[in-house]
Chain A
């Protein structure tokens, strides 16, 4: 594939397009992000309480959100593949496969711990800051530090 060398184990959020995005064309992702941020807040997915209720099996809410999102996602991706739907620029849609490595287990467990503590996955972090809980900037900086530290010691970790 492309420019991200040693990327083959980590294809999250990847740009499958061979076209170059101008700043102007990137703006459309900002607009999608705005809608997304509003949904995060109004569905209270960014709420620390909702995460606790989910993991203490006190509420169906988060299971409903994630479950219905996955169902809509599966149907959409299968329709795109089945009918070979192209992007609005006319490109063939490329989705990189995920390859298994042990990181999905160890890293997955670690993220689960952090998710409960902060009440946020990475997306809601940005929305939480937007709702003027300013101390979450510290959580974000710490998450960036965690990502950086992973990059630093990546080759010494079991994968």
Chain B
């Protein structure tokens, strides 16, 4: 296999995980920046719609590195999609596949199920909850918690901060609760 062919395959966790972990020292060493992504949403608010709210009155320009970083993530997504995309359908567990089929979710051509994440789906109650309510909870919850998977679970725990461990445990509890107890009802809408 050529290198490109190898890169096109999904990467195993023991390659991706350590590379993500290395982002922590890289950002610290190249400019004293603590890894964290959800803060970019706050900077966007501060830059575009501060509305005289004290939480958004600060010098966001000093944090603009964070906006460069997330714009880079977007470009990385573009590059991966155009040059390194896996031509095969996404592989998922047989159990999940069978579960989703009962809700009519059978398209495996992309990393996101098209039946849920598309403009047509957005107009349905199910799609609206997944896309709009879900997004709102991500934005509200991460800021209320003071961080997300990157800021708490990776950066905070790397720095041995116990509040970050508490936050991470709550992310997981919330996730288990939603995935197992609530989501089946939403998917059947």
Residues of chain A having any CB pair with chain B under 8 Å: 2-7, 9-17, 19-21, 25-49, 51-56, 58-62, 64-74, 76-77, 79-80, 85, 87-89, 91, 93-101, 103-123, 125-136, 138-152, 154, 157
Mark contacts of B147-174 with chain A using CB atoms, 8 A cut-off: 1 yes-contact digit, 0 otherwise: 1111111111111111110111111111
Which chain A residue shows the least CB distance to B58?
A: A4
| Total inter-chain residue pairs, C-beta < 8 Å | 560
Out of B149, B174, B183, name the residue touching A110 (CB < 8 Å): B174
A-B contact pairs, 6 of them (CB 8 A): A41-B111, A73-B24, A98-B163, A108-B169, A113-B174, A126-B37
Q: Which of B11, B54, B174 has the most CB of A within 10 A?
A: B174
12 further interface pairs, Cβ-Cβ under 8 Å (given A76-B21, A127-B80): A12-B38, A13-B36, A13-B66, A17-B33, A43-B10, A66-B154, A93-B28, A112-B175, A121-B138, A122-B37, A122-B38, A143-B139
- B28 CB to nearest A CB, Å: 5
Q: A26-B64, A126-B73 are in contact. Are A112 and B140 (CB under 8 A)?
A: no
Q: Which residues of A contact B182 (CB under 8 A)?
A: 113
Which chain B residue shows the least CB distance to A79?
A: B25
Which chain B residue shows the least CB distance to A77?
A: B158
Q: Which residues of A contact B145 (CB under 8 A)?
A: 103-104, 106-108, 110-111
Q: Is the CB of B77 within 8 A of A130?
A: yes
Q: A55-B178, A108-B166 are in contact. Are A113 and B141 (CB under 8 A)?
A: yes
Q: When chains A and B are docked, how far (Å) is the Cα of A77 from the Cα of B156?
A: 10
Q: Which residues of B contact A149 (CB under 8 A)?
A: 136, 139-140
Q: Is the CB of A151 within 8 A of B153?
A: no
Q: Which residues of A contact B125 (CB under 8 A)?
A: none
Mark contacts of B10-50 with chain A using CB atoms, 8 A cut-off: 1 yes-contact digit, 0 otherwise: 11011111111111111111111111111111101100010
- A88 CB to nearest B CB, Å: 6
- A155 CB to nearest B CB, Å: 8
Q: When chains A and B are docked, how far (Å) is the Cα of A148 from the Cα of B135?
A: 12
Mark contacts of B44-86 with chain A using CB atoms, 8 A cut-off: 1 yes-contact digit, 0 otherwise: 1100010101111111001111101111111111111100110
Q: A15-B32, A55-B179, A133-B110 are in contact. Are A39 and B11 (CB under 8 A)?
A: yes
Q: Which residues of B contact A105 (CB under 8 A)?
A: 166-167, 170
Q: Which residues of A contact B26 (CB under 8 A)?
A: 32
Which chain B residue shows the least CB distance to A74?
A: B158
Q: Is the CB of B141 within 8 A of A107?
A: yes
Q: Is the CB of A64 within 8 A of B64?
A: no
